[in-house]
Amino acid sequence: MAVTLGWLDIRLRYRGSVLGPFWLTISTAVMIAALGFLYSTLFKLDLAAYLPYLALSQVLWGFIATMVSESCQVFVENEGTIRSVRMPFSVFSIRMLVRNAIALGHNVAVFVVVFAIFHVIPGWDSLWTLLGLAIWVIDSFALTLLLGGFCARFRDIQPIVNSVMQIAFFITPVIWKADQLGPRIRLLALNPFFDLLEIVRAPLLSTPLSTTVWIGAIGYSVLLCTASWLFFVHARGRITFWV
């Protein structure tokens, strides 16, 4: 049911459109091209090395940012269904995850084309990306239950979350590279978005991935899942009244 509803969301969102979700792909491609030429000049970076990195980073960050933002509304936007039909709250969480996964699948074409243009061929190490994506799925599900329930109770949380995500975009290596920090690269260990982004991005770019990054990503994931479980156990019976 959740998968069907997620696919239906995509069809309804782009109903009557000629290109459908590929409009999002085109806009992403144009933005990446513009930022790539601009920042490669400002940072004095080789475009052939920087543009594939930027394309992959922007696509992956777009998924993360959208998941965080929409998680705040996952139960509120389904208020009518929650009040009228008895079904597991996990259906709404999986529905949102499927919807954004489909959108991510369309945007994958952007960095695939960029990789082909600049002859970037991922090696066998890219298989580690599958493990990273599995962690993303678990984290996304936990995040929807945590933020969805919390924002249903406190409606002022979503603007705060959106502001935090704007700041996180600039302090996370998305449009810039981690090695540009020099000796201060150790500070990235305090940024959970860096570890979670790197476990998917680095294998595709054939970049060495340290054990510290994996430990950090798994550690942050365990904390998120634990917090989500502890909160949802107590909030599950009250969400219907909060929305």
Structural domain range at position 209 = 2-242
Instruction: For 168-188, write each residue's pLDDT tens digit.
Output: 999 898 988 888 887 777 888
At 130, list the tokens. Answer: 């599958």
Find how far residue 80's CA is from the centre of its chain: 27
How far apart are alpha carbons 140 and 136 in whole angstroms?
6
Contact (CB, 8 A) for 75 and 152? yes
Number of domains in the chain: 1
Q: At what angle do helices 22-42 and 90-117 cross, to 10 degrees?
A: 50
How far apart are alpha carbons 92 and 89 in whole angstroms?
6
Contact (CB, 8 A) for 39 and 175? yes
pTM: 0.89
Q: Which of 14-18, 55-59, 137-141 has the lowest mean pLDDT?
A: 14-18
